[in-house]
A and B are shown apart, each in its own frame.
Chain A
């Protein structure tokens, strides 16, 4: 009993924290905390990223074409699957589902896994342009047979990375494709835009309006 009484204050302290914390996290449900970490729903077609991205090493952007230029990485249109699968593995029942969808001109309804609340704006292009690997946020997708949300994807998680990147003064990779201005210049004969003097040091914003607007 002596032992218990000496330990009591510490436990009481912990307990005192627990109570309000539990209450608040309970209330927090109605708020924007929408952590779906570990979410791994079944998809209409048993598509395996482990096979496509892992085994065959397809580039992510072969299918997710928007990632480089748009807010949305995008899910490939069904016809993209058929680029290969008119020839490859046509006898698989899963592929036949896709082929049927194309034939009926009826899109497949995939279940969305990575999802931010409606009031949070995320731009894939900015992150891909800054040289981030897809895996940084999406986890080792090339190993996933069925995709799951690996990271917390909460506001704190986003901000941690933004703050960390700013602190480390990471520089962005040079733009891979010719810049739009240069393309225009090539075709029209107008002077090309000035080249960048130094590589861009990433300054990931931490302003609220970067994501909430």
Chain B
């Protein structure tokens, strides 16, 4: 250090001899380094300089990469009063996913609907929403939706389109040609009023009602035979002590599954009621409802009506009445004892017994009505008086086809229906449409029907438009938009009014009708319409104090004629086309959430296999994934086989709703379309087709299953008890748990966690859970869980944080089924927590097992060590291909990147939000303030969330229940999830 002056100047100041600058050169660092090196006196050690340079370059590199790109904040110019960025806004509304019309709450964030929840105040759906309803929010952002009206394939303005339509309609009316509006059965009172307005404007106009599944029309038409009204009664499963369902999947897809599931769960709450309903199911293929049944009889499809006829005959004998038209019917292929048991059990409860039938066969429905009439349950378990009347004057699609062939139709408007896809005569219809001067569709996309029409006037989705519904007499619910239409679309009602020459915004029309017709029915409110209207908007539903109505009486006159068609079709193969819980009739097919949710029974995603009985598969040498060719008449279909327990040996069952060709990016080409195989009997499409042929092709097509092993292998993960045994001993079936002392020998290496405040936990009632999978989709929506697609599911990489395990036990020809919702167990001694090298999964002070995505490096060790295999890994970046679809993301939950583990967080964002709200309001949290996404949507209310440290909470009570058990207690993982034993009422007397 002989010469401190540098040989080279570093700055002009230094060169000029500025003493400050010179002083600075004494030390290479102008500023002290944070690690304290610069604090030591400078010396001449070259080694030190080396490290200085190294440190400096590192610091320089840090500075260089520290600045992230500039982000901007763009505030409103004028903020709407109700919007506070960061706060959710909720709208009460009504679901439009199916005919059930459940009450909804739509959560919007910064103007975007992001989540659908059930409306607890809705007296029918009572807070539940099914998978389809949950997924409707994703359909809103579906990039394949039509974005503007078109003529052919070219874009037109609404004005041009309206002018075209009005002119063509006038011309048709003047020429005396028919104007046909093809509609679904249920539109809601206001939309029906708009239809009426349209019909009045054009005298030649008539409605045609089309329903892909034909279930509702079968019920309504049967009531026309038996009661003289085209109506659907109000079924009350909560009032039924005995339920006999003949192929009606009322927990899954039939009429109003959410409401029925709630009612059903209540009638089977043995713990609270000390009794429970007994449920018989007679069906050819396993449905969600059949899986829940106490006694399930597997019969051939054509035998279902015969078993029901036999039941009617027996009930008639008991009632001492004569039922015409039954004498000639052959006896069904079901043993005498079972038939007698069915009749006796139903008769014993009479008024509190309920017979329902599914399917599209009017005769079967007539038999069900007759059985109910014989039981005398009107006003108890079934109420036609409280039901909903359907369009009595509507024509059928068959009639429309006849008219089209005759050339007497001048205009066909398809509104909310897609018969070219969903009807076996679709191809013919498409061809006939070419000759009609005006053809129009209002579907939300250019679907299979819309590509065959001249004009496309896309309708706004349910989340963008007004509407209403009356699903039970006196329960009127309101649908309000949660967002302005994203595209140039218009509500169907507005279109109809426009074309009827009475243009009016949907909102005005709706409100005016409510003022004129709904408000007067609301008695004893003592308030003006505005208050009534505001209240209706806020609650989403009004219950009108309706005076008891007289139900139309049962008539025997038409019975014999109606039952004439009932016969046995002994055939080697009978094809059953059935709807699935996720896709229903196929309308919501272009929805990745629904495609990816595993079917609760088959566990298939992204496709529809042909289910055949294990015995039949064995005889034919077929196994899962073998492609067979199904031929019905001249139509053939190549479809992979799934060996499905509980299927009748003569049946080959294919789900409908798949095989779309014009639905969009997601659905096109997924699965096969079964509709064209339907039979047409008396102008009606029938989804049960006797006499099909099945031929193996030798090809293979793997099935994307989320669960490939279906038996519990004797493991006590699911426990169950017979009702009688349970009533005698609340721990019945759960004796293993007692052995573990309800927490057991808790020797542990760790000192354990201390919870000073809350300790969150879940309880899942296996008795209530039907496996409907609403929770799975709800969880997916809430937590930004990606849909991974068929290929990834095939690789067993489904991402759902919540899944429903389905196990079979007993005879595979007709097994007993259990569903077990499975999510992260938030273990006390979590195996995942000890093994993560970087502490990316740790225990919270409130008992949650937290996964910290941004800390995760992705060793997957935690997932390996997870005994319940609930952890999900981001194998790739699952990007949202369409920017529009990103709008559905929940801003309160991070979107995980590739390479990190994720899993159920017990909706920690909801916990935080409620805690913050309680703190803000200066009050303690109450039990029920926080609801997890799965809990909220559960139609059966099988899931309970709460604080087990609060002894009064529901979840704490359930954790101490006799039915309570935890998974893998012997591992001493200390699961936070309590499962409650499943109680069955098979009547076999002994519990296991």
Contacts and interface: CB of A to CB of B under 8 A. Distances in A.
Interface of A: 4, 7-8, 11-12, 14-15, 17-19, 21-23, 25-26, 28-30, 32, 34-36, 39, 41, 65-66, 69-72, 74-80, 101-102, 105-112, 115, 117-121, 123, 125-126, 129-130, 172, 174-175, 179-181, 193-194, 196, 200, 203, 205-210, 212-213
Contacts of A41: 70
Contacts of A32: 854
A110 B75 contact: yes
9 contacts: A14-B40, A15-B48, A18-B35, A32-B854, A36-B67, A66-B86, A74-B85, A79-B76, A213-B894
Given A196-B922, A207-B846, A107 B75 contact: yes
Contact of B923 (A19, A172, A196): A196
Q: Chain B interface mostly helix, strand, loop or mixed? A: loop
Contacts of A206: 845
Contacts of B75: 74-78, 107-108, 110
A18 B53 CA distance: 11
Interface stretch (B378-386, B531-539, B912-920, B931-939): B912-920
B908 A209 contact: yes
Given A78-B77, A208-B850, A208-B855, 18 more contacts: A4-B45, A11-B48, A22-B59, A29-B65, A35-B66, A39-B67, A70-B86, A71-B87, A79-B76, A126-B919, A129-B920, A175-B921, A175-B922, A181-B923, A200-B919, A207-B846, A212-B894, A213-B905
Contacts of A101: 77
Interface of B: 35-37, 40, 43-45, 47-48, 51, 54-55, 57-59, 61-62, 65-68, 70-79, 84-87, 757, 842, 844-846, 848, 850, 852-855, 892-894, 905, 908-909, 912, 916, 919-924
Contacts of B919: 126, 129-130, 172, 200
B330 to A, nearest CB: 63
Nearest to A7: B43
B894 A119 contact: yes
B73 A109 contact: yes
Contact of B58 (A22, A36, A203, A208): A22
A12 B720 CA distance: 69
Given A11-B45, A112-B72, A117-B854, A34 B66 contact: yes
A35 B66 CA distance: 7
B850 A36 contact: no
Nearest to A31: B854
B43 A208 contact: no
A118 to B, nearest CB: 7
Nearest to A15: B51
Contacts of B54: 18-19, 22
Contact of B921 (A108, A112, A126, A179): A179
A118 B912 contact: no
Nearest to A197: B924
A88 B920 CA distance: 36
Contact of A210 (B36, B87, B912, B923): B912
A177 B854 CA distance: 37
A205 B852 CA distance: 15
B923 A119 contact: no
B782 to A, nearest CB: 11
Contact of B920 (A17, A18, A125): A125
Contacts of A15: 47-48, 51
A62 to B, nearest CB: 14
A29 B51 CA distance: 20
B58 A25 contact: yes
Contacts of B854: 32, 117, 119-120, 212
Given A70-B87, A112-B72, A102 B45 contact: no
Given A4-B45, A19-B51, A21-B35, A208 B77 contact: no
A175 B74 CA distance: 31
Nearest to B78: A79
A17 B406 CA distance: 93
A181 B921 CA distance: 8
Q: Chain A interface mostly helix, strand, loop or mixed? A: loop
A141 B423 CA distance: 68
Given A69-B84, A78-B78, A23 B58 contact: yes
Nearest to A123: B916
B58 A213 contact: no
B85 A207 contact: no
A108 B59 CA distance: 35
Contacts of B923: 179, 181, 193-194, 196
Given A23-B58, A71-B86, A102 B77 contact: yes
B922 A18 contact: no
Contacts of B855: 208, 212
Contact of A213 (B44, B55, B86, B893): B893
Contacts of B842: 208
B581 to A, nearest CB: 30
A206 B74 CA distance: 32
Contacts of B57: 22
Nearest to B840: A208
A209 B62 contact: no
Contacts of B853: 119, 212
Contacts of A108: 74-75
Nearest to B71: A112
B9 to A, nearest CB: 28
A66 B85 contact: yes
Given A70-B84, A109-B72, A207-B844, A17 B905 contact: no
A106 to B, nearest CB: 7
Contacts of B47: 11-12, 15
A19 B72 CA distance: 37
A175 B55 CA distance: 50
Contacts of B848: 207, 209
A118 B923 CA distance: 30
Contacts of B924: 196
B71 A18 contact: no
Contacts of B893: 213
A181 B920 CA distance: 11
Nearest to A12: B47
A77 B58 contact: no
A4 B43 contact: yes
Nearest to A196: B922
A98 to B, nearest CB: 10
Given A129-B920, A174-B922, A209-B848, A111 B77 contact: no
A18 B51 contact: yes
A65 B58 contact: no
A39 to B, nearest CB: 8
B781 to A, nearest CB: 16
A180 B40 CA distance: 60
A174 to B, nearest CB: 7
Shortest Cβ-Cβ A-B pairs, 3 listed: A22-B58, A70-B86, A71-B86
A74 B79 CA distance: 11
Contacts of A120: 854
A35 B68 CA distance: 9
Nearest to B50: A15
Nearest to A22: B58
A106 B77 contact: yes
Contacts of B51: 14-15, 18-19
Contact of B55 (A12, A18, A208): A18
Interface centre among A7, A71, A106, A206, by most chain B C-beta atoms within 10 angstroms, is: A71
A4 B47 CA distance: 12
Contacts of A29: 61-62, 65-66
A30 B65 CA distance: 8
A77 B905 contact: no
A17 B86 contact: no
Contact of A110 (B72, B79, B852, B905): B72
